[in-house]
């Protein structure tokens, strides 16, 4: 039985069991106090997030805005206002609201362009990214880690150019070098299709199917040339075999620009624990992605489910190997509460609520990516005396109707008989001057 001082009796309650005014007042004040404390606590948590993100604004490892500009506006920038673009999840106003200081913008073309016009389409996507990042004063195109830091000091949203899928190279190291000269500083080895030299995590396309779904010798040369140039090797979308091979070949840290933890959601696009350990040895980075299908294999994805991926990777290899790669504009479904780029503070608030130290969160926000970028450039400098790679893929590995091979013209006996069939295509060698043919 409760002590007498805490017992309610008939005298405590008035007629018909009603409470006297003193007790009602006390309960009302207690409720008000709890409400005010809750609001103050909420404000305090929000202020803490804003303070942290103002000191360490986010570097987002992957964004496909250029894809949506092509899809909705045919890359006609004159027809859009990137300050406010409600048809997509990314615009300047929401990047500012989300404390995003750097976007790694992807030049992505569909796998269906492989063996066709992938190189041209990639150039067009790079063009629209370069234009938006130079025509809008809020943005600044950067090509170095130091340039990224400088843009932050000037209050600019830094743009880093990336290519999403090695099919954009058409298996050519010179093409890779030309992309670098245009400002590209990161490239994913594959997208949802194999290339002639690297394997994809997806089986959506039938390009270059083979039993050994890893890097070929030419694929290794691609990684080595990226190291020499100072271009970040991105392994999101690569098969696990390709990723392991690339890590073993690369002298510089690599990244998974938009992948999550396979142990939490067992999708082939996510990274298993054994591969996370290989990534740690490489001093690379996994940038946790927000696509709902990679976050929660079952049930509704939400902020807590995303944070579970961060917790798992942190517990497996440590927080210094984690970043964020939202993949906004590249997919359609995002977790509840993370619908666009303005919502990143919600995720950071959840990590802090889970007792992540602020210094580790600062690493996730930007410091870890900067460390990788710095180390990629250090390897570039160490390889500065190395000549450009001259590896060429074997014609039989990549032969397709749209790829011409220069060969000397074959002499043919003159014929006076008229041809009854369709006109034959001239060898490309016949169209070149003899002085050039002599070089081949």
Over 80: is that where the pLDDT of 207 sits?
Answer: yes
* Residue from 60, 167, 170, 191 carrying the catalytic annotation: 191
Estimate to the nearest angstrom the gap between the alpha carbon of 439 and the chain centroid. Answer: 42
When pLDDT is cut at 50, 70 and 90, the band that residue 425 belongs to is: very low
**Residues 235-261 pLDDT 10s:** 999 999 999 999 999 999 999 999 999
Estimate to the nearest angstrom the gap between the alpha carbon of 105 and the chain centroid. Answer: 8
**Residues 275-316 pLDDT 10s:** 999 999 999 999 999 999 999 999 889 999 999 999 999 999
* Residue from 103, 140, 152, 164 carrying the catalytic annotation: 164
Structure tokens at 315: 């517990």
**pLDDT value of position 22:** 53
Over 80: is that where the pLDDT of 211 sits?
Answer: no
Annotated active-site residue 164? The verdict is yes
**pLDDT value of position 98:** 98
Annotated active-site residue 62? The verdict is yes
Across the chain, what does the average pLDDT equal? 87
Q: Which is more confident, 401 or 219? A: 219
**pLDDT value of position 297:** 95
Estimate to the nearest angstrom the gap between the alpha carbon of 276 and the chain centroid. Answer: 17
Annotated active-site residue 191? The verdict is yes
**pLDDT value of position 8:** 34
Annotated active-site residue 308? The verdict is no
* Residue from 60, 62, 91, 350 carrying the catalytic annotation: 62
Q: Is 170 left (phi over 0), alpha (psi -120 to 50) or beta?
A: left
**pLDDT value of position 184:** 98
Helix (H) / strand (E) element for 63: namely strand 58-63
**pLDDT value of position 85:** 97
Query: Strand, helix or coil at 191?
Result: coil
* Residue from 60, 140, 167, 237 carrying the catalytic annotation: 237
Over 90: is that where the pLDDT of 424 sits?
Answer: no
**pLDDT value of position 401:** 77
Q: Say which range, 189-203, 310-324, 422-436, has the weakest mean pLDDT.
A: 422-436
**Angstrom distance (rounded) from CA 190 to CA 175:** 16
**pLDDT value of position 430:** 31
Over 70: is that where the pLDDT of 25 sits?
Answer: no
Structure tokens at 243: 């990723």
User: Considering the entire predicted model, what is its pTM?
Assistant: 0.84
Over 90: is that where the pLDDT of 94 sits?
Answer: yes
**Residues 351-369 pLDDT 10s:** 999 999 999 999 999 999 9
**pLDDT value of position 106:** 98
Annotated active-site residue 237? The verdict is yes
Over 50: is that where the pLDDT of 233 sits?
Answer: yes
Annotated active-site residue 277? The verdict is no
Q: Which is more confident, 383 or 211? A: 383
Over 90: is that where the pLDDT of 139 sits?
Answer: yes
Annotated active-site residue 64? The verdict is yes
**pLDDT value of position 54:** 98
* Interval 409-421 mean pLDDT: 56
Among 206, 220, 213, 276, which residue's Cα sits nearest to residue 242? 213
CA distances from 187 to 176, 183, 193, 255, 263 (A): 9, 12, 15, 10, 26
* Residue from 60, 64, 91, 308 carrying the catalytic annotation: 64
**Angstrom distance (rounded) from CA 148 to CA 232:** 15
**Angstrom distance (rounded) from CA 438 to CA 440:** 6
**Angstrom distance (rounded) from CA 392 to CA 368:** 35
Over 50: is that where the pLDDT of 12 sits?
Answer: no
When pLDDT is cut at 50, 70 and 90, the band that residue 403 belongs to is: confident
When pLDDT is cut at 50, 70 and 90, the band that residue 413 belongs to is: low
Per-residue buried b or exposed e for 184-197, using 16+ beta carbons within 10 Å of the residue's own CB: bbbbbbbbbbbbbb
**pLDDT value of position 13:** 35
Over 70: is that where the pLDDT of 435 sits?
Answer: no
Residue 431: CA atoms inside 13 Å, Cβ hemisphere, count? 7
* Residue from 327, 340, 360, 375 carrying the catalytic annotation: 327
* Interval 311-339 mean pLDDT: 97
Q: Which is more confident, 28 or 72? A: 72
- Quickly count: other Cβ atoms within 10 Å of residue 36's Cβ: 10
């Amino acid at each position: 039985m409760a002590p007498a001082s805490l017992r309610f009796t008939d005298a405590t309650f008035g007629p018909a069991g009603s409470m006297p005014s003193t007790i009602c007042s006390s309960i009302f004040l207690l409720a008000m106090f709890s409400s005010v404390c809750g609001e103050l606590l909420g404000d305090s948590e929000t202020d803490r997030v804003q303070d942290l993100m103002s000191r360490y604004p986010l570097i987002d490892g992957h964004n496909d805005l250029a894809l949506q500009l092509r899809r909705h506006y045919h890359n006609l920038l004159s027809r859009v206002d990137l300050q406010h673009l409600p048809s997509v999840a990314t615009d300047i106003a929401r990047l500012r609201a989300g404390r995003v200081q750097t976007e790694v913008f992807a030049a992505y073309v569909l796998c269906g362009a492989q063996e066709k016009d992938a190189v041209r389409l990639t150039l067009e996507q790079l063009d629209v990214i370069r234009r938006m990042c130079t025509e809008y004063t809020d943005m600044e195109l950067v090509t170095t880690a130091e340039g990224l830091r400088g843009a932050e000091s000037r209050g600019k949203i830094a743009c880093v150019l990336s290519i999403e899928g090695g099919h954009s190279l058409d298996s050519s190291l010179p093409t890779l070098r030309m992309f670098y000269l245009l400002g590209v500083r990161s490239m994913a080895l594959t997208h949802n299709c194999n290339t002639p030299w690297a394997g994809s995590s997806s089986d959506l396309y039938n390009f270059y199917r083979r039993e050994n779904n890893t890097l070929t010798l030419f694929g290794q040369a691609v990684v080595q040339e990226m190291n020499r140039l100072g271009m970040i090797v991105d392994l999101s979308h690569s098969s696990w075999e390709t990723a392991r091979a690339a890590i073993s070949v690369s002298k510089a840290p690599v990244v998974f620009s938009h992948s999550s933890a396979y142990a939490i959601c067992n999708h082939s696009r996510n990274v298993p624990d054994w591969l996370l350990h290989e990534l740690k040895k490489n001093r690379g980075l996994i940038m946790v992605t927000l696509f709902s299908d990679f976050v929660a294999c079952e049930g509704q994805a939400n902020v807590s489910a995303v944070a579970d991926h961060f917790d798992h990777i942190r517990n497996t290899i440590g927080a210094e190997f984690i970043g964020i790669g939202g993949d906004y504009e590249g997919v359609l479904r995002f977790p509840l509460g993370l619908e666009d780029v303005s919502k990143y503070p919600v995720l950071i608030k959840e990590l802090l609520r889970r007792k992540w130290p602020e210094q580790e969160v600062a690493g996730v926000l930007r410091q870890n990516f900067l460390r990788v970028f710095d180390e990629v450039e250090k390897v570039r400098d160490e390889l500065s005396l190395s000549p450009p790679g001259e590896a060429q893929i074997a014609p039989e590995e990549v032969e397709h109707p749209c790829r011409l091979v220069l060969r000397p013209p074959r002499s043919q006996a003159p014929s006076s008989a008229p041809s009854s069939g369709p006109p034959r295509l001239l060898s490309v060698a016949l169209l070149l001057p003899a002085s050039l043919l002599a070089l081949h």
